[in-house]
């Protein structure tokens, strides 16, 4: 987390959290979701505006974390902006030698591969659980063929609970408050 963000939290400790305004798709892209987009439906059916400003994306990614309930957020100064996830909190890119990096640029060490009932491939790593980017499935298949990763089969509906993440903090919040 950026130092300036820590200072803002200390200065304004009671800023309300924000829900539904930011989404992360299955390819690691960030989307801003205003009131109109949120009213049109949940993420990812109603995505919003793709963020393209590199410095804003870098700021979000440097300050991207999870709380103790598995809800992922971007700490925007004193305000916590909870993220709607299309798939998982991490989207993995596979590089040379089967290296793994998150959509945030952080490197990760694979610990387990998972194949869901829809044919999607995931990795559990030292950073957490994430989906392999669609453009990198060929490199992942190569790692599987070489015996570097041996996927375990799991039902897609079980993944959030099993790996401790919440896809929609906004929906969870609504369920808790009603």
pLDDT digits (tens, 9 = 90+) for 28-73: 999 999 999 999 999 999 999 999 999 999 999 999 999 999 999 9
Q: Residue 153: helix, strand or coil by DSSP?
A: strand
User: Residues 81-93: pLDDT tens digits?
Assistant: 999 999 999 999 9
- Whether residue 2 contacts residue 59, with contact meaning beta carbons closer than 8 Å, is answered with yes
- Geometric angle at alpha carbon 152, from 92 and 164, rounded to 5°: 60
Give mean pLDDT, residues 101-105: 98
Q: 3-87+165-177 is classed in which CATH architecture? A: Roll (3.10)
Residue range 17-27: mean pLDDT, rounded:
96
Which DSSP symbol is given to 128?
-
**Nearest alpha carbon to residue 134 among 24, 23, 31, 27:** 27
DSSP code string of 60-92:
HHHTEEE-TTSBEEEEETTEEEEEEESS-SEEE
Domain boundaries, the chain: 3-87+165-177, 90-162
**Considering the entire predicted model, what is its pTM?**
0.90
**Terminal C-alpha separation, the chain:** 33
pLDDT at residue 14, rounded to an integer: 76
């Amino acid at each position: 987390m950026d130092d300036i963000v820590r200072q803002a939290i200390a200065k304004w400790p009671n800023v309300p959290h924000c829900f539904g305004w930011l989404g992360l798709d299955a390819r690691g892209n960030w989307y801003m979701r205003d009131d109109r987009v949120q009213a049109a439906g949940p993420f990812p059916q109603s995505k919003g505006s793709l963020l393209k400003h590199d410095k804003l994306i870098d700021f979000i990614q440097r300050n991207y974390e999870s709380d103790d309930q598995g809800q992922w957020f971007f700490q925007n100064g004193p305000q916590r902006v909870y993220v709607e996830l299309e798939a998982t909190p991490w989207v993995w890119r596979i590089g040379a030698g089967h290296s793994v990096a998150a959509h945030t640029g952080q490197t990760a060490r694979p610990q387990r591969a998972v194949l869901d009932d829809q044919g999607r491939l995931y990795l559990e790593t030292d950073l957490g659980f994430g989906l392999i980017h669609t453009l990198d499935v060929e490199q992942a298949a190569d790692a599987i063929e070489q015996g570097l990763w041996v996927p375990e089969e799991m039902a897609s509906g079980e993944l959030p609970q099993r790996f401790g993440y919440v896809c929609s903090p906004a929906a969870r919040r609504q369920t808790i408050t009603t």
